[in-house]
Amino acid sequence: MFKLLLYGMLLLGYAGCSQPKPHRASWYVTPPHHTPTTLYGVGEGADFNAAKTMALAHLAHSLSMTLQSSFTKQEYSMRTNGKEQTLQEQRHRIRTEATLLHFRDVSIEQEQVLNGRIYLLVSVERARLYDAQEAALHETIETYQQQFELLQKQSGLTRFVLLKHINAQLPELKRQLELLKILDPTRDVSGYDTWIERYGRLYETQRHTLHLSLEADAVSTGFKEVLAEQLLALGVHVDASGHDGVIRITSKHKQEKLLGYYMQKCFVRIRVADAKGAPLASREYVLVGTSSIDFSQSHHNCVKQLASKVASEGIFKSLGL
């Protein structure tokens, strides 16, 4: 009797083990390739919305990887400062890429529930994504164009501040433009190419034709020299005319001798105005210099500290522009 019972239990165990384990669907493991009309993405999550978000992020990331051929590998590789990104950082990057795309009418092609997780295969029409992306790019460029036209009669420095902002956005605008070319290579986007190139040239031209004057109080001449050196290195003209704008540097100093050291704290204020005196930007620094020689040397060390900060940040950021 015992043998029969044991034999029956073994049969039941074998029957249970013979049941195939559930696996993730083949469409998730090997997602379909993009087609000339449709883009695909897969994702998983604790609920439907989380899975859909990751599926769209996967789709966006696949497009981003395609963009690598148009830009430097260093700029778009999954490495940061020579170190591999953690999985969490990679996922954050992918989610960020997804937020830059304007998805419309997302279709759910497949859905699977496995071990309490939701798995999805989604699709997006290339044409609809193209239209949404182009509309966003066009709106951005139109806004910049209108802003610049409004400043035509303003001082050169005022125009330069806007051009500097636009120039900082050009790499992202180029990236969006390359995405349009990938989504539909047959459409003509040469007008956007021309606009981006034109404003890149305008920025360089404006930078090299700027005439700024630098003014400083008696105790701030060293700080003035730091700013002048950085501006001249970028091709900006520094002279007394102040044709395009004026930079004023003032400072206050607190001196203290402690344990044989000459310590000096410098409170530096930089103010930038256009040729008519209208304020454009300002920046403040608190610098600390120490010397075993005298206060003159500790002040010199404050100047060196400002020079280091300006070299690190860039002159225009240091001016608050």
The model's pLDDT over 187-207, given as tens digits with 9 standing for 90+, comes to 999 999 999 999 999 999 988
Domain boundaries of the chain, sorted by first residue: 28-77+91-125, 128-209, 211-318
Q: Which 8-state DSSP code applies to residue 292?
A: S
Q: How far apart are CA 89 and CA 91, in angstroms?
A: 5
Q: What is the pLDDT of residue 62?
A: 84
Closest CA to 56 of 12, 120, 142: 120
Query: Residue 15: is its pLDDT beyond 60?
Result: no
Query: Residue 83: is its pLDDT beyond 80?
Result: no
Query: Residue 178: is its pLDDT beyond 80?
Result: yes
CATH-assigned architecture of domain 211-318: 2-Layer Sandwich (3.30)
Whether 28-77+91-125 shares its CATH topology with 211-318 is answered no
Lookup result for tokens 């009418």: 105
Rounded percentage of the chain residues whose pLDDT exceeds 90: 51
For the segment 151-179, the average pLDDT, to the nearest whole number, is: 87
Q: What is the pLDDT of residue 265?
A: 94
* Amino acid sitting at position 319: L
Q: What pTM was estimated for this model as a whole?
A: 0.69
Paired strand residues for 87: none
CATH-assigned architecture of domain 28-77+91-125: Roll (3.10)
51-69 per-position pLDDT tens digit = 998 998 888 888 877 776 5
Q: How far apart are CA 136 and CA 139, in angstroms?
A: 5
